Structure 1
Amino acid sequence: MVMRVLGVMVLSLLVTIISGCGKSDEEKRFHQELLDKALNDDTKKEGLLYLEENARKDGVVVTDSGLQYQILQAAEGPKPEMLNRVRVNYTGWTVNGEPFESSADRAEKPVFTVKDVIKGWREALLEMSPGARWKIYLPSELGYGARSPGGMVPANSALIFEIELLEILPQEKADQ
């Protein structure tokens, strides 16, 4: 919650600074409209409402960043580090339950470098051990933010993923 308020304040400050630099009232109005749209976006509001309700469910843990997660299958062992490459199985949904991406049907499961995934995935993966399966709930700031990755995911979307960490790749496998 504090991070969300801080983010809004920073965004407001940036727009105020930028709009003050405009040469005309029209440019200032345009910048104010951008700020209003960012703060009052229906997709953003829908996601925030979903996450507020979800945070009250049994078994849901909320971190300082706003990441929410449920441990579906616990695992013990090493955890990946930022520069490690990991093999995962995952499915992603919007908060209205529409699936938008999945590796379930892929014969070869995807490999990602932890530092290169979206913030919410990164935070979760760094706490998981191979064999763990988590369901994570991301505010838009921990997902794709104010941009849309395309397809069925609008800008400012809160997202849900089920992630299974299959393995942390040894360096020699990661280089291939």
Structure 2
Amino acid sequence: MGNLLEMVLGQQNSGAIGQIAKNFDLDMGDATKALGSLLPALQGGMQRNVKQQGGLESLLGTLNKNQNQQYVDQPELLGQPQAIDNGNSILGHIFGSKEVSRQVAQQASQQTGLDSSMLKKMLPMAASVLMGSLGKEQARQPMGGNQSMIEGLLDADGDGSMMDDLLGMAGKLFR
């Protein structure tokens, strides 16, 4: 079960990445770069949520509903208003505030040289694709209450601790 970034940016999601590229008038390279710069923050937010009381159950409940898989299977849905609303509700859950979304977009903008307001608009789509990818993985290989499997997926540097990944990311966010 590889790294989350590889999973989301992998071949099976090239349709979704292509759709995001089209929506924002980017080439595949820039769209992949943009998503690659947004996903670590989403990953970190999910790690934090899974650590909280009931967080893992909540994540699994969402994955088992699997409404997000449609955005991976039918990428053309990604630009539609309900997809954006869906992505925004995921972001609200992951980040807790619009302010964090803004900071994430600014951070990604500094990394990529892409416009931060565009990246902020891309965030809900990235969130939908991320949850869709996780949902597909869950369907393929149920994680059940297997916290270690989910934590492994969310542990960015593979050292078994999510806290340093999150703190490292938060450090970058608030530097």
TM-score (norm. length: structure 1): 0.27
TM-score (norm. length: structure 2): 0.27
Structure that is richer in strand per residue: 1
